[in-house]
Amino acid sequence: MRPVDRRLLAGIAVVLGIALIAVAIVYWAEPAKSLPSFFPGHTAGSNHHHTKHGIAAFLVGLACFAFAWFNTGPKKTRSASA
């Protein structure tokens, strides 16, 4: 993969990771009735907190950061490491 593509993908992953962690915080902080209507788990009149949805969003956000971490690391070649 070209270095520009790697940097672009890493940038997208970082933005996505931040967005997902923000989504996780919303899930933890707000009851189901107060979630934006396009969020999975939004239920009118429900005071239930979707903790598991928050954990899932948080972990996928971390996975995005991990992806970005690997893609921005120094590119090592087999010959260089041998």
Q: Which residues of this chain interact with another protein, rule CB under 8 A?
A: 40, 51-53, 55-56, 59-60, 63, 66, 69-70, 72-74, 76, 78, 81
Q: Which two tokens stand for residue 28?
A: 């933890």
Minimum Å gap between C-beta 27 and another protein is: 11
Contact partners, residue 31, CB within 8 Å, separation at least 6 = 46, 47, 48, 49
Beta carbon of residue 66, minimum distance to another protein (angstroms, whole number):
7
As measured in angstroms, the least distance from the Cβ of 40 to another protein is: 6
Neighbours of 11 (CB within 10 A): 13
